[in-house]
Amino acid sequence: MNLEMGLIQQQTMKLVMTQQLRQAISLLQYSTLELSEYIEEQALENPLLDVNEADRDEGIRDSPVLWNDREESSGEQGKEPFIDRLGNARQGLTVHLIDQLRMLDCEGETKEHLKYFIHNLDENGYLVVNEKEASIELGITPDRFHELCALLQNFDPVGVGARSLSECLLLQLQALPEEHPIVETIVAHYLQAFAEKKWKWLAEEMQITLEEIQDAHDFIQTLNPRPAQGFSESEADYITPDVYIEKNNGEWTVVLNDDSLPRIRLNRQYRNLLHQKNDKETFEYAQSKYKQLVWLLKSIDQRQQTIRAVTEAIVEYQQSFLENGELRPMTLKHIAERADVHESTVSRTTNGKYVQTPRGCYELKAFFSKGVSGNDGEDISAMMVKEALRCWIEQEDKQKPISDQKIADRFKQEEGVTISRRAIAKYRDELNIQASSKRKRFA
Burial class (CB in 10 A: 0-12, 13-18, 19+), 118: buried
Count how many residues are written for the chain. Answer: 443
Q: Are strands 49-51 and 379-381 parallel, antiparallel or unpaired?
A: unpaired
Q: Cis omega (within 30 of 0) on the bond before 157?
A: yes
Distance CA 243, CA 254 (A): 7
**122 in Cβ contact with 128 (< 8 Å):** yes
Q: What is the pLDDT of residue 395?
A: 87
**245 in Cβ contact with 315 (< 8 Å):** yes
Assign domain 371-439 to its CATH architecture. Orthogonal Bundle (1.10)
pTM: 0.62
Q: What is the pLDDT of residue 62?
A: 45
Helix (H, G, I), strand (E, B) or coil at 233: coil
Closest among 263, 262, 266 to 290, alpha carbons compared = 266
Q: What is the pLDDT of residue 287?
A: 87
**197 in Cβ contact with 435 (< 8 Å):** no
Q: What is the DSSP letter of 43?
A: H
**DSSP letters of 279-310?**
SHHHHHHHHHHHHHHHHHHHHHHHHHHHHHHH
b/e per residue 192-217 (b: at least 16 CB within 10 A)? eebeebebeebbeebebeeebbbbbb
Q: What is the pLDDT of residue 373?
A: 61
Q: What is the pLDDT of residue 367?
A: 87
Residue spans of the domains in the chain: they are: 93-220, 243-367, 371-439
Distance CA 43, CA 53 (A): 12
Burial class (CB in 10 A: 0-12, 13-18, 19+), 389: buried
The tens-digit pLDDT sequence of the chain (443 residues) is: 567 777 777 787 765 656 666 777 788 888 888 888 888 888 888 888 888 643 444 444 444 444 433 333 334 444 444 444 444 444 688 899 999 999 888 888 899 999 999 999 998 999 999 989 988 888 899 999 999 999 999 999 999 999 999 999 999 999 999 999 999 999 999 999 998 888 899 999 999 999 999 999 999 999 999 998 877 666 667 788 889 999 888 889 999 888 878 888 888 777 777 777 777 888 888 888 888 888 888 888 889 999 999 999 999 998 888 888 888 888 888 899 999 988 989 998 898 889 999 888 988 888 887 766 655 545 677 777 888 888 888 888 888 888 888 888 888 888 777 888 888 888 888 888 888 877 877 76
Q: What is the pLDDT of residue 431?
A: 87
Please, which residues have CB within 8 angstroms of residue 395's CB and are 6 or more apart in sequence? none
- Alpha-carbon dihedral angle through residues 88, 94, 95, 98, given to the nearest 10 degrees: 170
